[in-house]
Amino acid sequence: MNSEKFVSLLKSELDNSFELYANKESYIGSKLDSLDLSTENKDEVLALVKDAVTENLYVLLSALEGSSSLAGNQQIYTVSDENNSIISGELDSEFYMQVIEANI
């Protein structure tokens, strides 16, 4: 696996999660429904949740790559798959291209 495929899997997981968050059958969806928000306000809350989760995942990937700190500790981590193939190296930039830039 390479960083492009890994980020593609992360993007799919995020997309699925955000769909679930909007569904009243999910925990977050049921909590949102209990707030009795207008459709417009619910959409705004979901957009904020999506932005927060996306930003935090980008920060985490950047920290793994060593381009930002993780709780004040900045170093480069190595991410590998079960075959010991190194996945890290471009995770943050790949995530930016596939997820963040795609939504601008």
* Average of per-residue pLDDT values in the chain: 93
Q: Give the pLDDT mean for 65-91.
A: 92
Distant-in-sequence, close-in-space partners of 46: CB < 8 Å, separation ≥ 6: 18, 21, 22, 32
For the chain, the domain total comes to 1
- pLDDT tens sequence across 47-64: 999 999 999 999 999 999
State the pLDDT at residue 88. Answer: 84
Answer whether residue 9 shows pLDDT above 90. Answer: yes
Bridge-partner residues for 80, per DSSP? 86
Percent helix, strand, coil in the chain (nearest 5)? 65, 5, 30
- State the Cα–Cα distance between residues 59 and 15, nearest whole angstrom: 18
Q: Residue 25 belongs to what domain range?
A: 3-103
